[in-house]
Structure 1
Amino acid sequence: MGYESIPGPMYYKGWYHLFYQYNPDAAVWGNITWGHSVSKDLINWLDLPFAMVPDHWYDINGVWTGSSTLLSNGSIVMIYTGSTNQSVQVQNVAFPANLSDPLLVDWVKYSGNPVLTPPPGIGVKDFRDPTTALQVSDKWQIVIGSRFNTTGIALVYETTDFLSYKLLDGLLHEVPTTGMWECVDFYPVSTTAANGLDTSVNGPGVKHVLKASLDDTKKDYYALGTYDSDTNTWTPDDPELDVGIGIRYDYGKYYASKTFYDQNKKRRILWSWIGETDSETADIKKGWSGVQGIPRVVTFDQKTKTNILQWPVQEVESLRHSSVEFDKIQVEAGSIIPLDVGTTTQLDITADLEIDAKAFEETTEADVIYNCSTSNGAAGRGALGPFGLLVLADESRSEQTAIYFYVAKGTDGHLKTFFCTDKSRSSKADDVGKEVYGSIVPVLGSEKLTMRILVDHSITEAFAQGGRTCITSRVYPTKAIDGAARLFLFNNATQTSVSVTSLKIWQMKSASIHPYPL
């Protein structure tokens, strides 16, 4: 089954998660339904029966992505996109059948659905994925993704009862050449505190994140900006880093993401669907396709002031069960160091690294046009990189996934640091993606280079500099599995040694995910 997340709010001291699923070998998307599950810690989950299935003319071709809004009276409203019997994308509303049920097993679709149809000038297949509602004065507003020709746009609708809606004049925002915007998200972040903010918060000390999943490229972009609730417009801080042309949430396999606010711990949590990069034939054979990434906490980067930070929720640390720690390992240029840490298929790794200061001084210029995706990956050798870790590697390293830094230096002394994941040798299988992912990561002043890597059999999630740049990868090792998987430090630079000042590696237990015994 394939999965795409529709996170719900925290409810009755537990987490409620909806996701849509479909059969990957289905000829049409009419098999899409909403499954749902519950959790008390965002890590261990109980599967519940289907929440919604395509059983009305307004969603018979699929119950698609939507969002939940938790109202002040404790009730919940769900707005979702349905694909009609004429394949028109419309917006529908559903409510819990019984608010006293802590599991919210049953849902009732509004008898007056659909509540919204595509407005004039919008294509019938270009109108989807409503956001969580934000409250402006005594009204609620939702944002819906769309496009005009090749310009990605965000429409804003206003409501008081979630049953009738008014399309507001103008657009929240638009960016030419970015194509269809789907799974739009819009939320505030505090510029002065580390806590998250409720979706409706605005005012001094607040920036707003606008995010869109680009249908043309299947990548998630975001930008920071200012929201004017009087004109219902959002303006990016830096037009060169606008939605779809600037910063990505994640430079690997990461799509259709959505945030929600945890009112108990006062944090904003980001979830995403991690699709496969193997063949459809392989997916059908194994009987499932797609996973949810580890939930991440989103905060404003108060040091750079130009980006957000993403970090795994603290609850993931409950899966740690033993650790090994290393101090002051010197990794010379061109060397590889095996790490004896036992089983390495499920790990949580943190590492602090420093480049030899003398190498910086003696290197006048290095790789000023470097790019992770067009490079030779971990096999390429530059003066100041690459260096990092080889995960999910077998003893001979015929299979390995390299996660590393690469530093470029201009003649003016300016440094650019790249964070990359190289999958080119991740598997002996010939029907899997073997890309090199990555991008620049801001490194300020005398900061050490830091990374955290979560490894789980066939997926890695890597975070550089506290989550300024993130890379998620689906990998499919055939030899580096179970007890045959190994872990290595490596430094393929030509002119610098690397000092690993701190390296801690935790073994991780599997999360508990099983059907709820109803």
Structure 2
Amino acid sequence: MSSNLDRARSYEGKVGKQIPDGQKCVFHLTPEVGWMNDPNGFSLYRGEYHLFYQYHPYSSVWGPMHWGHQKTRDFIKWEQLPCALAPDTEYDGQGCFSGSAVEHEGKHILMYTGVLDRVEADGSHTIRQTQCIAVGDGVNYEKLSANPVITADALPEGSSGEDFRDPRIWKEGNTFYTAVGSLGSDGSGQIALFSSQDAEEWRFESILDANGKRYGKMWECPDFFPLDGKQVLIVSPQFMRAEGLEFHNGNNSIYFVGTYDREKRSFLRGEARSVDCGLDFYAPQTVETEDGRRVMVGWLQSWDNYMTPEDFLWSGMMTIPRELEIREGRLIQNPVRELENYRQKEVSCKGIRLSEQQGSLELDGIRGRVLDMIVEADVSRSASFTIHLAVGEGCETTISYEKEKGTFTTDRTCSGLKKDLLCTRSMYVDTKEGKLKLRLLLDKYTVELFVNDGEQAMTSLIYTPLEAEGISFSCKGETVLDITKYEIVLS
């Protein structure tokens, strides 16, 4: 073990104990201590699901990237494991960036981007991103002496050596494949495909897809997988311009449903769509479960709106893992079914008639900050319908439907923020014969909304005081509600 890795492990074990009990989320993965961003290495290994993540243990802001590590059997209860990778070689001394993992012959293979960033003797600045391998047993990992196993020299002429990262590794039969994001000769994103028989010597196969300056610039964190007879490519573009409500400015996560020609190693994509329309979602990664489901998790935070309270010794969390399927050409996502095993204290309110004259309506037993709530709303006679969350302490966050615009909007303006941050985001929604079905997950600081059985998702952070547990409902016109709420309890 290198001194850098040993130091990181000692630090996280010591300082993690200083975090107050009850401060962290209940059923969302958070780091032991320090900063967390992109999920990495989401994989099945020896019957357990491992999730690594970009990690800087020494502060609650981004720094030289390590790999944090946790595992689970059911995607809800997570076990903290020691830091898996630290920047400690020449080729990754300035960071072990994002990557992925696969099980092979009893070993756990991690593939990640190593970052070299140095000033040369002549004053010039060298930045290189290369792809590297570490092999381990689920706790300890050894970097290959052959690293880096892929350099930018293997890319088509004109491709960038500075922006070449985030390998997504998988196996088909006896062959390893990896899809890696890079900048092409036109200065926009492309996804390069490589193959290998041993995960050490790699051959360039093709450019799976290229941005063509259409969706942002660099395509980060690619994921490429079959689902329901189709092929899905997920990428996270940087420096993207908004296009109506479908995409937003800055860092997005988008997906394409298409077909994959394995002989030509080419992907024919369909229309681009947002993975999640909320304020805080980036860099999702998927795993195939033992029972054949495709499960996705994303980083529940934003690069452009840092909100972590100043007294927190940790920053960042992951979304609830979500089961994916294709329905009518769209990616459908719903919380993993295992979450239902932790539901307690059901409260059901049926046929609640809500009118504009009532103002904001509270219901007995419908409150809390750690919950799973299903709301079925007949909005056929409503001009608007609003759910008020985390109400109290002078705060609230709202999720509102507006019929004329056909939109849902999350608004955290009054959630307790003391900085001028982006607070609203909207998405178009379709009613089903005048009805909406909503599923809301709250976990202290998280709001995850799933609309119409997973047709759309909207994920956002709120750092409202935890004492603010009120929930109420209001509308313009008339709305009829069926509400079922559960507490989520991990015993």
Question: Which TM-score band applies after superposition, normalised by the shorter structure?
Answer: 0.7 to 0.9
What is residue 379 of structure 1 aligned with on the other side? none
The verdict on how the C-alpha distance between 1:168 and 1:182 changes in structure 2, with shifts beyond 3 A counting, is: same
The verdict on how the C-alpha distance between 1:338 and 1:278 changes in structure 2, with shifts beyond 3 A counting, is: farther
The verdict on how the C-alpha distance between 1:432 and 1:105 changes in structure 2, with shifts beyond 3 A counting, is: farther
2:237 to 206, 209, 214: 214
Q: Please show how residues 194-209 of structure 1 align to structure 2 within 5 Å.
A: 206-209=229-232
What is residue 61 of structure 1 aligned with on the other side? 94
**Cα displacement string for residues 143-198 of structure 1 (whole angstroms, at most 9, x for unaligned residues):** 111223452211111212111111124443434242000101111110xxxxxxxx
Supply the distance in 1 between the matched residues of 2:434 and 2:261 (Cα, whole angstroms): 35
**Cα displacement string for residues 427-457 of structure 1 (whole angstroms, at most 9, x for unaligned residues):** 2x3226352123113445x373100001122
Q: Please show how residues 492-511 of structure 1 align to structure 2 within 5 Å.
A: 493=476, 496-500=477-481, 502-509=482-489, 511=490
What is residue 375 of structure 2 aligned with on the other side? 351
2:415 to 406, 413, 426: 426
The verdict on how the C-alpha distance between 1:147 and 1:83 changes in structure 2, with shifts beyond 3 A counting, is: same
What is residue 467 of structure 1 aligned with on the other side? 454
Q: Match of 1:88, as an amino acid? A: R
State the Cα distance separating 1:33 from its structure 2 match. 1.2
2:69 to 36, 52, 75: 36
Supply the distance in 2 between the matched residues of 1:280 and 1:424 (Cα, whole angstroms): 15
State the Cα distance separating 1:282 from its structure 2 match. 5.2
Supply the distance in 1 between the matched residues of 2:94 and 2:56 (Cα, whole angstroms): 11
Matched, 1:451 2:473: no
Q: Match of 1:490, as an amino acid? A: S
What is residue 81 of structure 1 aligned with on the other side? 113
The verdict on how the C-alpha distance between 1:300 and 1:28 changes in structure 2, with shifts beyond 3 A counting, is: closer
2:255 counterpart SS class: strand
1:487 to 471, 482, 489: 471
Supply the distance in 2 between the matched residues of 1:52 and 1:319 (Cα, whole angstroms): 32
2:139 to 96, 105, 108: 105
What is residue 29 of structure 2 aligned with on the other side? none
Q: Match of 1:407, as an amino acid? A: K
Q: TM-score, normalised by structure 1?
A: 0.78
State the Cα distance separating 1:404 from its structure 2 match. 2.8
1:317 counterpart SS class: helix
What is the aligned residue count? 433
1:316 counterpart SS class: helix
Contact 2:191 2:207 in 1 (8 A): no
Supply the distance in 2 between the matched residues of 1:436 and 1:26 (Cα, whole angstroms): 25
Instruction: Calculate percent identity across the aligned residue pairs.
Output: 24
What is residue 196 of structure 2 aligned with on the other side? 159
Q: TM-score, normalised by structure 2?
A: 0.82
Q: Match of 2:129, as an amino acid? A: Q
1:88 counterpart SS class: strand
**Cα displacement string for residues 76-117 of structure 1 (whole angstroms, at most 9, x for unaligned residues):** 321111102543110001111x4xxxxx21111111000011
The verdict on how the C-alpha distance between 1:79 and 1:447 changes in structure 2, with shifts beyond 3 A counting, is: farther
What is residue 425 of structure 2 aligned with on the other side? 437
Supply the distance in 2 between the matched residues of 1:19 and 1:27 (Cα, whole angstroms): 14
Supply the distance in 2 between the matched residues of 1:258 and 1:27 (Cα, whole angstroms): 22
Supply the distance in 1 between the matched residues of 2:60 and 2:424 (Cα, whole angstroms): 31
1:133 counterpart SS class: strand
**Cα displacement string for residues 198-255 of structure 1 (whole angstroms, at most 9, x for unaligned residues):** xxxxxxxx11111111122221111211111122111123xxx33xxx3333433101
Supply the distance in 1 between the matched residues of 2:60 and 2:410 (Cα, whole angstroms): 33
Supply the distance in 1 between the matched residues of 2:255 and 2:305 (Cα, whole angstroms): 29
Contact 2:408 2:426 in 1 (8 A): yes
Supply the distance in 1 between the matched residues of 2:219 and 2:49 (Cα, whole angstroms): 28
Supply the distance in 2 between the matched residues of 1:349 and 1:28 (Cα, whole angstroms): 34
1:406 to 402, 409, 413: 402
**Cα displacement string for residues 103-132 of structure 1 (whole angstroms, at most 9, x for unaligned residues):** x21111111000011134222221000113
1:417 to 385, 406, 416: 406
Contact 1:6 1:17 in 2 (8 A): yes
State the Cα distance separating 1:298 from its structure 2 match. 0.7
Q: Please show how residues 311-322 of structure 1 align to structure 2 within 5 Å.
A: 311-322=334-345
What is residue 369 of structure 1 aligned with on the other side? none
What is residue 179 of structure 2 aligned with on the other side? 143
State the Cα distance separating 1:323 from its structure 2 match. 1.6
State the Cα distance separating 1:328 from its structure 2 match. 0.5
Matched, 1:133 2:170: yes
2:164 counterpart SS class: coil
Matched, 1:94 2:134: yes
What is residue 196 of structure 1 aligned with on the other side? none
Deviates more, 1:453-462 or 1:13-22: 13-22
Q: Match of 1:508, as an amino acid? A: I
1:189 to 213, 216, 227: 227
Supply the distance in 1 between the matched residues of 2:174 and 2:307 (Cα, whole angstroms): 52
2:385 to 375, 384, 387: 387
